[in-house]
């Protein structure tokens, strides 16, 4: 039993002695070591929105009027050389309209929406349906307006349109509704 007491006393004395020591002064800094080897290259990042192409707002001065099988159609062609076959096959083209040629009770001033836009309204007692659409082809976007009653002889030149081209490699818009212009504008950092 005496041996256990001596051993216990020795351990306590060693702990007390070790904790009573003083720290010495900090020594000088050592020399800088050699530069290490370069690391391996990281993986290529996802394509960003820098590849997105968008137009200014385009306001047609005049539309071409055609009548086929009794239906009148007003069209305007926008040259868009960035719409390539690759974009048509793998990308996205969204065309937006700002239809300021209507009175505000039919379409609010500066309201923007993706085409097609279908507007239902009454002209007196006659129901009218205006359908604005966009046909995208190689290097061109054709804006079109048809009215269910062929009510127009001409179209206001206050309507304007813009397009956004999103290449197939851009995957940043997964949770965004392309019909919601403000969401698209914010996500792609577009300027009006």
Q: Looking at the domain assignment, is residue 58 inside a domain?
A: no
Q: What are φ and ψ of residue 154, in 5° steps?
A: -155, 170
Q: Looking at the domain assignment, is residue 175 inside a domain?
A: yes
Q: Looking at the domain assignment, is residue 38 inside a domain?
A: no
Residue 104: its pLDDT value, please?
92
Q: Looking at the domain assignment, is residue 107 inside a domain?
A: yes
Q: In a 10 Å sphere around its CB, with 0-12 CB exposed, 13-18 middle and 19+ buried, how is residue 26 labelled?
A: exposed
CA distance 128 to 147: 7
Structure tokens at 29: 């800094």
Q: Looking at the domain assignment, is residue 157 inside a domain?
A: yes
Whole-prediction pTM: 0.67
Longest CA span, the chain: 120
Residue partners of 131: CB distance under 8 A and separation at least 6: 116, 117, 118, 119, 145, 146, 147, 148
CA distance 109 to 104: 6
Q: Looking at the domain assignment, is residue 98 inside a domain?
A: yes
Residue 32: its pLDDT value, please?
80
Per-residue pLDDT tens, the chain, 192 aa: give them. Answer: 556 555 455 545 554 555 555 566 777 877 887 887 887 887 775 555 558 899 999 999 999 999 999 999 999 999 999 999 999 999 999 999 999 999 999 999 999 999 999 999 999 999 999 999 999 999 999 999 999 999 999 999 999 999 999 888 655 556 666 667 777 777 766 777
Q: What are φ and ψ of residue 78, in 5° steps?
A: -110, 120
Range of the domain at 139: 63-188
Q: Looking at the domain assignment, is residue 116 inside a domain?
A: yes
CA triplet 21, 8, 23: central angle to 5 degrees?
Answer: 5
Q: Looking at the domain assignment, is residue 12 inside a domain?
A: no
Residue 130: its pLDDT value, please?
97
Number of domains in the chain: 1
């Amino acid at each position: 039993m005496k041996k256990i007491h001596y051993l216990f006393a020795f351990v306590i004395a060693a702990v007390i002695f070790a904790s009573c020591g003083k720290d010495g002064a900090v020594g000088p800094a050592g020399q800088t070591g050699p530069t290490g080897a370069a690391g391996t290259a990281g993986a290529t990042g996802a394509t960003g929105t820098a590849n997105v192409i968008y137009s200014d707002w385009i306001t047609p001065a005049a539309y071409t009027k055609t009548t086929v099988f009794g239906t009148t159609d007003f069209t305007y062609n926008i040259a868009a050389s960035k719409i390539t076959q690759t974009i048509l096959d793998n990308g996205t083209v969204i065309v937006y309209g700002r239809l300021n040629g209507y009175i505000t009770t039919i379409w609010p001033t500066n309201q923007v929406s993706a085409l097609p836009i279908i507007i239902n309204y009454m002209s007196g007692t006659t129901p009218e349906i205006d359908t604005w659409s966009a046909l995208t082809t190689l290097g061109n976007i054709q804006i079109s307006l048809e009215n269910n009653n062929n009510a127009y002889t001409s179209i206001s030149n206050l309507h304007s349109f813009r397009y956004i081209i999103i290449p197939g490699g851009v995957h940043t818009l997964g949770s965004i509704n392309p019909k919601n212009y403000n969401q698209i504008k914010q996500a792609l950092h577009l300027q009006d």
